[in-house]
């Protein structure tokens, strides 16, 4: 195979998801094998550029692409004294003074997003941010006007086609003036990359007519995965082995309760089906906030919604009905839990002194093995020999005696006589194991006399919060004294904490961890660890939500690389079952003829 290098550059690069995806693509045509190499990226966020270096493999450049008027409108202030407008020379430096074959732009989309109201989108602040898309395209085209990039991809939210129509028209006209054929399409990045989320995006694709003669075909669509197919391969939330990004976000108590009542596969609107009396919920005095998709809980076997820059439980479908609730380490304190032989034990605590207090039991497979006392609780068959008689009286000295119905020591062993039947013969040996010694007494409510332990022992006693407890004895247990308390300390409605509430469907309705959002975006494989710059979950989530999914970018790069290899090998046509992405429209053809 003959290796062929394809260079790519990224404007508004973010943390480098698109660059990572392009680097992964390896299209092949005949004996030509493409190798993608990133030559740089630009973004205004320093933390994002440090992430870009980690994901793309090359340093990024921190650069503000606003012009002065846009800066003043967006920040409502004058720029610093040392601030300067970006120029084409800055673009060249950011690309290492190399020319790219493909330029990928993912301009800021907040002003075009449906999460922003129409009124706010029309303010000077967001109009300035919107105009940055046009300025970025213009700077890029001017930087390489003497040797234009072969292909350009402009990615944004679908609503740019309506809210930003006037800007898109200018961008399309600008690209055509520089010799490009242009197509506007909307694709689901989840289908392009085979992700476990549905992520509808706007894609403007431009092909330089003189340099690239073949048609550019659309990437192949793949079925969406279930969200559980990704999350199920990851450690349980809160497992420190997965790193700090896998911690469960702290939510307000009322938010946890709301999530628990949201039906899997729906959002906050399912809360409307709860019983309401007197204008309040009958069981919980909580009212859901009316965000679009707010408190949405995704079913385990369904794809998630779009991972946005503010992916929080209360503003979209960013929670999951996790069926692995019983496996969670926070349940390790559950009473009577028996650990498997190949699992690690829970923490040994001061209160772990009884089977019902914690996970202090184990399913030991060695019950028939050559243990020191291999005959514990061994019951010897009547027709077999006994084990050796040892000084350890607690070992296997039991026998399966077939004579239980004999008349020895009275009729029946440990017999309990019904209250309305006669007792067996009272004999001299009427003890706990012989004869008429027990009765099923239906009178549990009879008045007890002084001296009865159950009269004054306080068994199953519950102590009020504002009263003293009884003396703590060596045998203190919940059933033999006043060893329970009426604890009034329920969390406040606005108290932030991490809890596990079993929802009505038996699963744990919880928010995605930041690590899980990164895996859903294909920024990291579920079995790996994701490391991003900083320590803030909110900053991580914003950068993850703004990122282009690498698997989707890889699919786009694959078809673009195939097109370039065809062009460079002299091919002008190729059969494909995929739809044509960018075809030579009449205007583009006319421009091509003029250039020739």
pTM more than 0.85: no
CA angle 192, 195, 198 (to 5 degrees): 80
Higher pLDDT, 83 or 343: 83
User: Above 50 in pLDDT, residue 399?
Assistant: yes
Fold of 2-225+535-595: Rossmann fold (3.40.50)
Cα(578)–Cα(581) distance, rounded to whole angstroms?
9
Confidence of residue 596 (pLDDT cuts 50, 70, 90): very low
User: Above 70 in pLDDT, residue 579?
Assistant: no
In the chain, where the domains are located: 2-225+535-595, 248-328+500-512
User: Above 70 in pLDDT, residue 300?
Assistant: yes
pLDDT score, position 228: 86
pLDDT, one tens digit per residue, over 85-106 is 999 999 999 999 999 999 999 9
Confidence of residue 109 (pLDDT cuts 50, 70, 90): confident
pLDDT score, position 586: 31
Confidence of residue 61 (pLDDT cuts 50, 70, 90): very high
Give the pLDDT mean for 518-537: 91
Residue from 206, 12, 10, 203 nearest 110 by CA:
12
pLDDT score, position 87: 96
Neighbours of 586 (CB within 10 A): 7
Confidence of residue 372 (pLDDT cuts 50, 70, 90): very low
pLDDT score, position 408: 42
Higher pLDDT, 417 or 106: 106
pLDDT score, position 148: 96
Strands (E) in 121-258, as ranges, are 151-156, 180-188, 200-208, 216-217, 251-252
* Conformational region of residue 99, where left means phi above 0, alpha means psi within -120 to 50, and beta covers everything else: beta
Side-chain half-sphere CA neighbours of 99 within 13 A: 12
Residue from 259, 255, 261, 267 nearest 305 by CA:
267
Cα(38)–Cα(56) distance, rounded to whole angstroms?
7
pLDDT, one tens digit per residue, over 63-87 is 999 999 999 999 999 999 999 999 9
> Which range in 6-10, 331-335, 352-356, 532-536 is most confidently predicted, on average pLDDT?
6-10
Strands (E) in 157-284, as ranges, are 180-188, 200-208, 216-217, 251-252, 276-277, 280-281
Lowest-confidence region among 56-60, 213-217, 585-589: 585-589
- Cβ distance 25 to 55 under 8 Å? no
Confidence of residue 41 (pLDDT cuts 50, 70, 90): very high
């Amino acid at each position: 195979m003959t290796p062929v290098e394809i260079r790519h550059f990224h404007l508004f690069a973010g943390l480098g998801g698109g660059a990572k995806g392009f680097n992964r693509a390896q299209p092949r045509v005949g004996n030509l094998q493409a190798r993608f190499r990133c030559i740089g990226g630009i973004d205004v966020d320093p933390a994002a550029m440090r992430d870009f270096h980690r994901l793309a493999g090359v340093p990024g450049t921190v650069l503000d692409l606003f012009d002065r008027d846009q800066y003043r409108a967006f920040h409502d202030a004058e720029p610093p004294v040392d601030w300067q407008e970006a120029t084409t020379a800055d673009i060249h430096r950011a690309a290492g003074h190399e020319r790219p074959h493909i330029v990928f732009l993912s301009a800021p989309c907040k002003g075009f997003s449906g999460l922003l109201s129409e009124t706010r989108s029309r303010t000077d602040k967001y109009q300035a941010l919107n105009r940055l898309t046009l300025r970025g395209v213009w700077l890029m085209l001017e930087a390489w006007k003497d040797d234009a990039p072969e292909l350009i991809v402009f990615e944004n939210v679908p609503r740019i086609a309506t809210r930003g129509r006037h800007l898109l028209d200018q961008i399309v006209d600008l690209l055509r003036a520089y010799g490009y054929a242009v197509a506007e399409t909307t694709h689901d990045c989840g289908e392009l990359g085979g992700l476990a989320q549905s992520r509808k995006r706007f894609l403007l694709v431009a092909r330089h007519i003189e340099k690239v003669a073949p048609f550019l075909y659309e990437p192949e669509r793949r079925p969406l995965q279930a969200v559980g197919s990704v999350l199920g391969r990851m450690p349980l939330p809160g497992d420190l082995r997965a790193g700090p990004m896998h911690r469960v976000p702290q939510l307000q108590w009322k938010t946890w309760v709301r999530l628990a009542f949201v039906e899997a596969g729906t959002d906050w609107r399912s809360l409307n089906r709860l019983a309401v009396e007197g204008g309040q919920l009958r069981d919980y005095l909580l009212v859901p906030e009316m965000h679009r998709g707010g408190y949405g809980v995704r079913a385990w076997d369904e794809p998630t919604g779009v991972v946005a820059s503010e992916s929080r439980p209360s503003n979209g479908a960013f929670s999951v009905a996790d069926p692995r609730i019983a496996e969670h380490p926070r349940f390790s304190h559950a009473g009577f839990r028996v650990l498997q032989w190949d699992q690690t034990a829970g923490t040994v605590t001061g209160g772990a002194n009884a089977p019902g207090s914690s996970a202090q039991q184990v399913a030991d497979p060695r019950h028939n093995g050559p243990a020191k006392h291999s005959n514990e609780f061994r019951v010897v068959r009547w027709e077999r020999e006994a084990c050796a008689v040892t000084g350890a009286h607690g070992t296997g000295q039991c026998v399966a005696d077939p004579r239980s119905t004999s008349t020895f020591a009275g009729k029946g062993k440990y017999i309990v006589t019904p209250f309305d039947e006669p007792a067996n013969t009272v004999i001299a040996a009427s003890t706990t194991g012989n004869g008429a010694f027990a009765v099923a007494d239906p009178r549990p409510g009879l008045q007890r006399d002084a001296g009865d332990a159950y009269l004054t022992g306080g068994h199953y006693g519950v102590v009020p919060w504002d009263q003293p407890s009884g003396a703590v004895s060596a045998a203190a247990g919940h059933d033999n004294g006043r060893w329970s308390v009426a604890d009034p300390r329920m969390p406040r409605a606005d108290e932030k904490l991490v809890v596990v509430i079993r929802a009505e469907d038996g699963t744990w309705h919880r928010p995605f961890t930041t690590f899980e959002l990164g895996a859903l975006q294909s920024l990291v494989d579920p079995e790996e660890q994701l490391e991003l710059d900083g320590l803030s979950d909110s900053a991580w989530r914003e950068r993850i939500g703004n990122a282009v999914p690498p698997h989707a970018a890889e699919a786009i790069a694959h078809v673009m690389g195939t097109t370039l290899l065809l062009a460079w090998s002299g091919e002008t046509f190729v059969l494909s079952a995929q739809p044509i992405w960018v075809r030579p429209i009449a205007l583009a053809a006319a421009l091509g003829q003029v250039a020739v």
